[in-house]
Amino acid sequence: MPLLSPALGATVPDSPHATVVCLPTLADVESYERKEARVWKLLRAGYPRFVRNELVTRAAQEAARRLGRAGELFPLVSEASARRLAEHAGASLTSLDRVGDWCLVTTPPGDAALRFAKMVQHTGTLISSRQAEAWLAGRPPVAAAAALASVRAALSPFLAGVKADDILVAASGMNAVDAGIAAVDAVQRARGRSAWIQLGWLYVDSTRLFEKARDAKHHFVADVRDLAAVERLLATGTIAGVFTEVPNNPQLETADIPALRALCDKHGAKLLLDPSSVGLASVDVLPFADILVSSLTKYAGSEGDIMAGLFAVNPTRADAIELFDHARRRLEPLPSPDVVVLASQVGRMAEVTARLSATAAEIARRLAAHPAVARVRTADQGPTAAAYRRLARPGAGAAALITVELRGDMRRVYDRLAVAKGPSFGLRFTLAAPFLWLAHFEEVTNEAGRAHIRAAGLDPDLLRISVGLEPLEEIWSAFEVALAK
């Protein structure tokens, strides 16, 4: 059976907890980014930090009705996160009420509420759809200790040296990132170090956390190979930490991580590594990291119906105990109903990743040979392939992601492509996204922004493909049709 592009607003999978919402045409993507009713009236779910699940909305509205609250409603995972983010955004909290295992926050409408909403997005602190569903149904929080132990046991082989109880499972990958940055800040500021180096193009919310830090300088080194620039900054003695993805998204380029580790040691900086793009089963980066953070929404939660994140400290590194203690206090744990679901999927992570890698390698090979394609990027090809392979686990490939630059009109190809189209990756179904149109819409829609993207070595109109578990020939047939003249 040929693959299909689901209708606008459809979720994949067909679940109230789906993390993918379908945007079949570039016009739909534009309307989505501009918050136009044509698209948003159809959305019931989506990537949860960007699209508030209708169950979460209903829970917030019902709690507000019972409590007699009004204003902008934010159903958040904890009071601590609510107060911290409000203070950062300069937002006043009209009310803050405990509701079951979450809290309802209200703020007055306006710019401060918008800033607060963005910080909630960046830090992944909205309640989950399963939390909301359980509260609406009057169900108490489920016991999840055994499920959490199962998740940690499944992750332990990929985090050698870390005690199972020290594997922290977060409400989202970005919540783990936020905890990692905060932990380094807490340790390093006493030493007069507050600045950060962002090495390479990062996922948008990671970048925003650095950009929106109120009293910490943020240095962006665009080329992951430019370790000379990194060392010049490190030599100032002001750098708290270096953060890079392994590989970065969507360039799929990898820094020389052993060399970067040596530079951080030489100059007293901490190294945060994020292997979300290829997943824990593809690369072994913990030996070089002070802190490893990763999304478990991808590869580990391959059904596409759960958000989760991972935080781990390398126990052999300096300040490991202090970093862990700070992060544990900051991080928001995965809600118990989601722990149970993650436990049912995470055990398949290695097998799923291997199958995705094998199919993606062949699709990438065929795309590279197609006359309509100008360039194909994968983690194990191109100028940083050797750096990636040094970190790859035995027998591992480059996981699911392929970045494609086209010779012709991206809009035409995207609109014709008969696969699910929306954000996320590392799932059991094939996904395509005009990634920079989703993550950096303001930049891709003006020439100055497009120039900035090109200067970072990216095509503003690239397509990011996440290859799924469907039969290879079915996936390739969809691309052949879309790329045909």
Pairing mode, strands 195-199 and 239-245: parallel
Tell me, what's the pLDDT at 216? 85
**Is the pLDDT at 105 greater than 80, yes or no?**
yes
- Output phi, psi for 156, to 5 deg: -55, -40
**Is the pLDDT at 306 greater than 70, yes or no?**
yes
Calculate mean pLDDT across residues 344-358: 98
Q: Give the pLDDT band (50/70/90) at residue 80.
A: very high
**Is the pLDDT at 377 greater than 90, yes or no?**
yes
Calculate mean pLDDT across residues 337-349: 98
Kindly report, as residue ranges, where domains of CATH 3.40.640.10 are found in the chain: 145-347
**Is the pLDDT at 442 greater than 80, yes or no?**
yes
DSSP string, 180-219: HHHHHHHHHGGGT--EEEEES---HHHHHHHHT-SS--EE
Instruction: Supply the pTM of this predicted model.
Output: 0.96
Q: In what order do the strands lie in the sheet with 218-221?
A: 168-170, 309-313, 291-295, 270-274, 239-245, 195-199, 218-221
Summarize pLDDT for 199-241 with one digit per residue, the tens.
998 887 898 888 888 788 999 999 999 999 999 999 999 999 9
Residue among 404, 397, 459, 473 at smallest CA distance from 433: 404
Q: Give the pLDDT band (50/70/90) at residue 250.
A: very high
- The CATH number of the structural domain formed by 145-347 is 3.40.640.10
Packing angle, helices 349-368 and 472-483, rounded to 10: 40
Kindly report, as residue ranges, where domains of CATH 3.90.1150.10 are found in the chain: 11-23+348-483
Calculate mean pLDDT across residues 151-159: 98
CATH architecture of 54-125: 2-Layer Sandwich (3.30)
Calculate mean pLDDT across residues 292-308: 97
Percent of the chain residues past pLDDT 70, beyond the cut: 100
The CA-based angle 16-22-27, given to 5 degrees, is: 145
Exposed/middle/buried for residue 190 (C-beta within 10 Å: 0-12, 13-18, 19+): exposed
Higher per-residue pLDDT: 440 or 152: 152
**Domain 11-23+348-483 top-level CATH class:** alpha beta
**Is the pLDDT at 141 greater than 90, yes or no?**
no
Can you tell me whether residue 295 is helix, strand or coil?
A: strand
Calculate mean pLDDT across residues 74-86: 96
**Is the pLDDT at 450 greater than 60, yes or no?**
yes
**Is the pLDDT at 1 greater than 70, yes or no?**
no
Helix (H) or strand (E) holding 455: helix 447-455
**Is the pLDDT at 2 greater than 70, yes or no?**
no
Residue 371's CB is within 10 A of a number of other CB atoms, namely: 9
**Is the pLDDT at 409 greater than 90, yes or no?**
yes
Calculate mean pLDDT across residues 362-373: 98
Tell me, what's the pLDDT at 103? 97
Can you tell me whether residue 242 is helix, strand or coil?
A: strand
Mean pLDDT over each residue of the chain, to the nearest integer: 96
Q: Where are the beta strands (DSSP E) in 226-285?
A: 239-245, 270-274
Peptide linkage before 157 cis (omega within 30 of 0): no
Summarize pLDDT for 42-54 with one digit per residue, the tens.
999 999 999 999 9
Kindly report, as residue ranges, where domains of CATH 3.30.70 are found in the chain: 54-125
Calculate mean pLDDT across residues 72-88: 96
